[in-house]
């Protein structure tokens, strides 16, 4: 076995059904007396219910969280933090809301409690992606890692089928890249393969029967494991491409991951055969890239960048941006091959 370094991230996790009942005691345990509740506009009702649960511990609601964490939205949220005298954050929702909480924590170091309602996984990472002037940049800082995460499976029962599919594939992407990351280790390898397997078996079931509590539990468990993977090791080509496309064209985050994943896997398979074998085994497939695309097809996820809003004119600028300040990747990045990858992803070609 090769030498490795493993660092366990210090987030407290509460997982189960009906665990939202523990919100108040957990906020109190973190020493928060005035919590600002965050959500997207779509989940304002959920934020209001959360604030009601907190009672006097709630400092107010900010329900303008947006995809890709725009800096101007964070600046508005910061004014609300100051106005309400908030000394902590409660974020309820998906990756957009979690990202806003992290952006606030980066600027204030306030404690965070996150209640995920999707399979985004970002609640388990010290990573923050922010968008400004059409460019998405990422950073890694312990200050943005939430102190507590409450996973309540019941909150995912109402997650729309389409969003369940793409959110789950987004989570799988975290684990796939962890398996060939530069700083991978055997502990994360175990979590990654188990996370992929849990989502691969549960996502089709949640599509067929959205109120299946066992399937939803399995999916949320898999998303948690995949989030740990993303937070513990580095990212590579897949995430670089998704960050580039999301920042430049404001493409939907999870859908972009779903489309790019099999193509990025194909690009790296020869350079990372052990990782590809683990992915294939977790999927119950003979070929990792084909297995990922077949899973996406099976759960009704989009297969092309074209169908999620990108235009062909964006391919060349995206290639240039992806080649600028690239993330480490097991397979060398060659401009012509990256262009071919994006063209195939744009058209939804088979991998």
Measured CA to CA, the distance from residue 217 to residue 198 in angstroms comes to 10
For β-strands 112-116 and 135-140, DSSP reports them as unpaired
Residues 296-318: b if buried by 16+ CB within 10 A, e if exposed? beebebbbebeebebeeebbeeb
Whether pTM exceeds 0.85: yes
Q: Would you give per-residue pLDDT tens digits along the chain (351 residues)?
A: 778 888 888 899 999 999 999 999 999 999 999 999 999 999 999 999 999 999 999 999 999 999 999 999 999 999 999 999 999 999 999 999 999 999 999 999 999 999 999 998 999 999 999 999 888 898 999 999 999 999 999 999 989 999 999 999 999 999 999 999 999 999 999 999 999 999 999 999 999 999 999 999 999 999 999 999 999 999 999 999 999 999 899 999 999 999 999 999 999 999 999 999 999 999 999 999 999 999 999 999 999 999 999 999 999 999 999 999 889 999 999 999 999 999 999 999 999
Does residue 58 lie within any of the structural domains? yes
Structure tokens at 234: 């580095």
Return the SS3 of 275: helix
Total Cβ atoms within 10 A of residue 138: 14
Sheet holding 88-93, edge to edge: 12-16, 148-152, 112-116, 88-93, 35-38, 58-62
Does residue 4 lie within any of the structural domains? no
Does residue 201 lie within any of the structural domains? yes
Do 173 and 241 reside in the same domain of the chain?
Answer: yes
**Number of domains, the chain:** 2
Domain that holds residue 212: 162-347
Do 137 and 170 reside in the same domain of the chain?
Answer: no
Does residue 216 lie within any of the structural domains? yes
Q: Which letter does DSSP use for residue 70 in this model? A: B
In terms of phi and psi (left: phi > 0; alpha: psi -120 to 50; beta: otherwise), the region of 132 is beta
Domain boundary (122, 156, 190) is at 156
CATH number for 32: 3.40.50.1970
Do 139 and 166 reside in the same domain of the chain?
Answer: no
């Amino acid at each position: 076995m090769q030498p490795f370094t493993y660092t366990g991230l210090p987030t407290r996790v509460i997982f189960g059904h009906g665990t939202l009942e523990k919100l108040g005691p957990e906020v109190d345990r973190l020493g928060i007396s005035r919590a600002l509740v965050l959500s997207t506009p779509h989940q304002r009702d959920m934020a209001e219910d959360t604030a009601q649960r907190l009672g006097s511990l709630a400092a107010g609601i900010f329900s303008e969280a947006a995809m890709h964490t725009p800096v101007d939205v964070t600046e508005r949220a910061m004014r609300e933090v100051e106005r309400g005298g908030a000394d902590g954050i409660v974020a309820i929702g998906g990756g957009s809301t979690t990202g806003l909480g992290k952006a606030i924590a980066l600027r204030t170091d306030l404690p965070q409690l996150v209640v995920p309602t999707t399979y985004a996984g970002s609640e388990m990472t010290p990573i923050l992606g922010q968008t400004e002037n059409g460019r998405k940049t990422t950073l890694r800082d312990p200050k943005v890692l939430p102190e507590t995460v409450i996973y309540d499976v019941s909150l995912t029962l109402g997650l729309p089928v389409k969003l369940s599919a793409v959110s789950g594939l987004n989570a799988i992407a975290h684990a796939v890249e962890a398996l060939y990351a530069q700083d991978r280790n055997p502990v994360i390898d175990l979590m990654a393969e188990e996370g992929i397997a849990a989502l691969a078996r549960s996502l089709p079931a949640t599509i067929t029967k959205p109120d299946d509590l066992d399937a939803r539990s399995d999916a949320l468990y898999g998303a948690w494991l995949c989030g740990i993977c993303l937070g513990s090791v580095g990212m590579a080509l897949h995430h670089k491409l998704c960050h580039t496309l999301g920042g430049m064209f404001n493409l939907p985050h999870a859908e972009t991951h779903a489309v790019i994943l099999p193509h990025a896997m194909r690009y790296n398979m020869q350079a990372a055969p052990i990782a590809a074998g683990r992915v294939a085994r977790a999927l119950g497939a003979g070929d990792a890239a084909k297995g990922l695309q077949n899973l996406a097809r099976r759960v009704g996820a989009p297969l092309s960048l074209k169908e999620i809003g990108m235009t062909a004119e964006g391919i060349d600028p995206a290639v240039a941006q992806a080649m600028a300040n690239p993330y480490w990747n097991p397979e060398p990045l060659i401009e012509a091959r990256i262009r071919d990858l994006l063209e195939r992803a744009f058209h939804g070609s088979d991998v």
